[in-house]
């Protein structure tokens, strides 16, 4: 039985499926070769709380063995599936993961959330749950995205690129984009740094991680969990691993106990700011 590894769509925001698989699969197949065990890499799409819970159930039941997911999403899932644990933490380069609003550099807007009230917000399909939880946490009781912002039918876009372009082209005034998504856009469009600026950043979120159930992997083969950890940590020595790190803007792959941060503490801190109850009132962002 091949080891089933899935990239969850929250880590794919702003990245095409083809690029994500193309940059990740060579490293995965090298890991499979070193482990002497077949690995199948795939994608799991999800935009809602129900989608995330379904992914957690697949990991918990062993339908899927390893999932790449953001740390806060892992924290939400662990409350329902306590036997899930981090296999590898994807330590990030340069800066911590935050959500932020992008506005035009030339517009005289302050750095507070209040300055965005009544502004045209560009929404796009596939906004990660974390970003939406951050937005839900900013809104006061009784407020909604539609009452706080000006959101018309033509301010709902299919992709993050279209939403960012809408702000640049003055069709909208702001867009909620996390720093990981924005960084991928800057690789091909460095001119955005002059056109746009970030305001109202969130508290840092914990990094992404590979998660699963240790006993599920070790039932397939003794010590497969530990062997996979050791193999992935050593990937910096390969060209495939370095390319994968560059694409995902990861500093290194580290077991939780080898990371330069207390991953579980970072997850618990984020859960204190963004409890799972926020998922009950997430803004609806998909285009009509």
Query: Which position has the higher pLDDT, 202 or 16?
Result: 202
Place of tokens 């340069």: 94
Sheet with 99-104, strands from edge to edge, namely 156-157, 121-124, 174-178, 99-104, 196-199
- Residues 200/111, Cβ–Cβ less than 8 Å: yes
φ/ψ (deg, to 5) at 158: -75, -35
In a domain, 287, yes or no: no
Q: Is the per-residue pLDDT at 287 higher than 80?
A: no
In a domain, 249, yes or no: yes
- H or E element, residue 177: strand 174-178
The pLDDT value recorded for residue 119 is: 95
Coil, strand, or helix at residue 129? helix
Across the range 155-165, mean pLDDT stands at 87
What's the residue count for the chain?
288
Verify that 154 and 19 share a domain, yes or no: no
Place of tokens 């002059």: 194
Verify that 190 and 249 share a domain, yes or no: no
Share of residues in the chain with pLDDT > 90 (%) = 60
pTM over 0.75: yes
Residue 113 belongs to domain spanning: 99-204
Verify that 117 and 154 share a domain, yes or no: yes
Q: Is the per-residue pLDDT at 71 higher than 80?
A: yes
Rounded Cα distance between 188 and 151, Å, is 28
Residue 52 is part of a domain; what is its CATH number?
3.40.190.10
Verify that 200 and 215 share a domain, yes or no: no
For 206-223, letters b (16+ CB in 10 Å) and e give: bbbbbbbbeebbeeeeee
- H or E element, residue 287: none
The last residue of a domain, from among 149, 174, 204: 204
- Residues 114/149, Cβ–Cβ less than 8 Å: no
Q: Is the per-residue pLDDT at 283 higher than 70?
A: no
Verify that 107 and 78 share a domain, yes or no: no
By the 10 Å C-beta count (0-12 exposed, 13-18 middle, 19+ buried), 38 is classed as: exposed
How many domains does one find in the chain? Answer: 2
Q: Is the per-residue pLDDT at 288 higher than 50?
A: no
């Amino acid at each position: 039985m091949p080891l089933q590894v899935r990239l969850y769509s929250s880590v794919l925001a702003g990245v095409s499926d083809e690029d994500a698989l193309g940059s990740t699969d060579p490293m995965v197949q090298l890991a499979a070769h070193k482990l002497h065990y077949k690995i199948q890499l795939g994608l799991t799409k999800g935009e809602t709380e129900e989608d995330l819970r379904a992914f957690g159930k697949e990991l918990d039941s062993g339908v899927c063995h390893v999932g790449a997911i953001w740390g806060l999403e892992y924290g939400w899932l662990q409350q329902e599936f306590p036997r899930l644990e981090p296999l590898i933490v994807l330590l990030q380069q340069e800066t911590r993961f935050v959500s932020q609003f992008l506005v035009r550099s030339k517009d005289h807007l302050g750095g507070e959330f209040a300055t965005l009230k009544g502004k045209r917000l560009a929404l796009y399909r596939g906004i990660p749950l974390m970003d939406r939880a951050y937005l839900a946490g900013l809104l006061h009781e009784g407020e909604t995205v539609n009452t706080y912002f000006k959101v018309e039918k033509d301010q709902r876009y299919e992709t993050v690129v279209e939403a960012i372009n809408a702000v640049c082209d003055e069709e909208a005034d702001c867009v909620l984009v996390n720093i990981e998504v924005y960084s991928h856009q800057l690789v091909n469009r460095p001119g955005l740094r002059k056109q746009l600026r970030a305001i109202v950043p969130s508290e840092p979120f914990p990094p992404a991680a590979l998660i699963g159930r240790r006993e599920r992997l070790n039932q397939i083969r003794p010590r497969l969990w530990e062997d996979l950890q050791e193999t992935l940590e050593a990937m910096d020595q390969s060209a495939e691993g370095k390319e994968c790190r560059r694409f995902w803007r990861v500093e290194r792959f580290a077991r939780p106990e080898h990371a330069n941060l207390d991953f579980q503490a970072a997850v618990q801190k984020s859960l204190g700011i963004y409890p799972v109850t926020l998922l009950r009132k997430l803004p609806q962002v998909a285009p009509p």
